[in-house]
Structure 1
Amino acid sequence: MATDRHRTRTASGKTRFDDIYDRPDPRTYFRTLAPYEYEIPQHAQAVFRRTRDLRARLAGAEGSVTILDVCCSYGINAALLNHDLTLADLYAHYTSDEAAALTPAELVERDKEFYASRRRADASPVIGLDTAENATRYALDAGLLDEAYAENLERHPPSRELRRAVARTGLITVTGGIGYITHRTFGALLDSARLPVWVSAFVLRTVPYGPIADTLAAHGLDTVTDTSRTYTQRLFTSPEERAEALRQVTLAGEDPAGHEAEGRYHTRLHESRPRTA
């Protein structure tokens, strides 16, 4: 497994990969994360499809459910949701010698065709939100996102355009952002909601979700946590990262045995839906 001793860490001890999140395209992202077997988007694929389909059955729902993917990065969740592809397919696609030989502009042109030829009949409109302007622009240009907003709701209120987009949203998804974003982002989004909004979030067991669940509850959403299983995110980058993760999981009241103690970050799935009574 590759290691990078030059990377810095967050206050929680988690290795930072800031240099891969805002490139003109996802090639560095996939090359960097491949040795650590980053896999949470693959777990999310079936969950998000199932949750979207359930949301579409609501009384009064018309047409496709519009999804807002928070911390969308290069549109990976949208790629897996709306196309006949696996995460392994994306790793192969972006780490190939053929991809390495292309300019960013050439890659985008190739990717438009790549995704268009694999588009599912049940594809849903996806809006992307991320602070990474280059990444969201790539996802938009490649046809993965219908709209993209490079905004930081932790620091600034949403733009008028983003508020209008959220007003059309029926499902908010997130796989890798909790810990980087807080209840402030979710509060700003829910303040702009006009339809019944569901939230489906995969959250590391090292990160508390309570403040976000409280904010969702204040907006009329009840949260149910799937305690029956966990979903692996990636391998630890170092013994130091592993030790800190075990410490934080234990402090959170979780047992790392059989999970983080085996060498990977684990997440739990939190599903929030409007209160019915």
Structure 2
Amino acid sequence: MAAFDDSYDQPDPRAYFRALGPLEYQAPHHGQGVFRRAVAARTRTARGAEPVTVLDICCSYGINAALLNHAVTLDDLYAHYTSPEATALTTAELIEWDRSYYAARRRPDPARVIGLDMAANAISYACEVGLLGQGFAENLETAPPSASLLRAARHARLITITGGATFLSPRTFQPILACAQDPVWVAAFVLRTTSYKSIAACLASNGLVTEEVTTHTFPQRRFTDADEQRYAVQAVTGAGGDPNGKEVDGYFHAMLHLSRPPEDATAFPLADLIPSP
């Protein structure tokens, strides 16, 4: 897979949107409707009046938080960050502009979002403009979580992932699930080139049942070149999937996995949480 390291950890997200726009990267768009419905369901089961806390893993610049809590679309954000107005600003000026931009579009029922990502600059930006209530630049695949992350994560009722599951293992999930004070839902968009079995097994050991959306897949982005497409087609075929009409047509595709306690899976059927494709 192509690496986008140069755009993932800049002082602001303009390079990120310039790089991914031509590839039609759309994973956060698919997450927007699912995550809003999941937050609404979690709100209905909350014991107090506090907003639901969401932990967004591999959160980058807080894109999922922006889409969850604000009256914006992913296309709006592409237009915003690639506009001539944004291009002309310094990072400090963009931060001030974005504070006003998001404040004017804040939904009346925002969730509290905390972010986890190894990209320190991206985390800092998302916190500065108010997209994240807290952010942690940590990599739980290589080191245990900090005490401050565990204190924040103990309040999480929903974990979201739209990118990065390829690079994750139970090492990231187990300490977070172990510290949570309430049962947690996990909503993860996972590329079809990647196995989710080890993570699903970890979630199962913590009492969560994983369901998979089988009615359709979710386009993630265009391939950067023929080599990347060849890799994806071979990986999907090797896993027993059919790449025709999906990877063969030029896009990575993801599957949505939703993990919850069994009683929540019964109370909130999966089909009710998935917007029509």
CA distance in 2, matches of 1:166, 1:247: 37
Q: 1:207 aligns with which of 194, 205, 213?
A: 194
Match of 1:142 among 90, 107, 129: 129
TM-score (norm 1): 0.93
Q: Residues 65-105 of structure 1: CA distance to partner in whole angstroms, max 9, x if unpaired? A: 10000000000000000000000100010001111111111
Matches within 5 A, 1:212-227: 212-227=199-214
The 1-side partners of 2:159 and 2:187 are apart by: 6
Instruction: Number of aligned residue pairs: give it.
Output: 264
- Counterpart CA distance in 1 for 2:30 and 2:139 is 26
In the alignment, which residue of structure 2 is the partner of 1:99?
86
| Cα-Cα RMSD | 1.1
Task: Say yes or no: does 1:160 pair with 2:147.
Answer: yes
**1:121 is matched by which residue type in structure 2?**
P
Aligned to 2:230: 243
Q: Are residue 264 (structure 1) and residue 251 (structure 2) matched?
A: yes
Mapped partners of 1:197, 1:129: distance in 2: 16
Distance in 2 (alpha carbons) for counterparts of 1:124 and 1:59: 12
Q: Hey, what's the Cα distance between the residues in 2 that align with 1:255 and 1:218? A: 30
Q: Note the 1:70-85 alignment, pairs <5 A.
A: 70-85=57-72
Which 5+ residue runs of structure 2 have no aligned equivalent? Answer: 267-277
How far is 1:60 from its partner?
2.8
Quote the offset at 1:59 in angstroms.
Answer: 6.0
Task: Pick one of 155, 174, 185 that aligns with 2:161.
Answer: 174
Evaluate the alpha carbon distance shift between residue 166 and residue 242 of structure 1 in structure 2; reply closer, same or farther with a 3 A threshold: same
Q: How does 1:62-77 map to 2 (within 5 A)?
A: 62-77=49-64
Match of 2:271 in 1: none
Give, in whole Å, the separation in 2 of the partners of 1:61 and 1:232. Answer: 37
- Cα distance in 1 for partners of 2:123, 2:24 equals 23
Residues in 2 aligned to 1:33 and 1:130: alpha-carbon distance in whole angstroms: 18
C-alpha distance in structure 2 between counterparts of 1:178 and 1:212, whole Å: 9
Map Cα deviations across residues 209-241 of structure 1 (whole Å, 9 max, x no partner). Answer: 000000000111110001111011000000110
Counterpart for residue 73 of structure 2: 86
Give the counterpart letter for 2:15 in structure 1: T
Q: Could you tell me how far 1:55 is from its partner in structure 2?
A: 1.4
Unpaired runs of at least 5, structure 1: 1-13
Deviation at 1:63, TM superposition (A): 2.7
Matches of 2:21 and 2:233, distance apart in 1: 23
Query: Which ranges of 4 or more aligned residues in structure 1 deviate by more than 4 Å?
Result: none
Identity %: 55
Q: Deviation of residue 123 (structure 1)?
A: 0.9
Deviation string, structure 1 residues 231-260 (Cα, Å, up to 9, x no partner) = 110000001100110000011111001111
Does residue 35 of structure 1 match 2:34? no
Instruction: Tell which deviates more after alignment, 176-185 or 109-118.
Output: 176-185
TM-superposed deviation, 1:160:
0.8
1:21-32 superposed matches below 5 A? 21-32=8-19
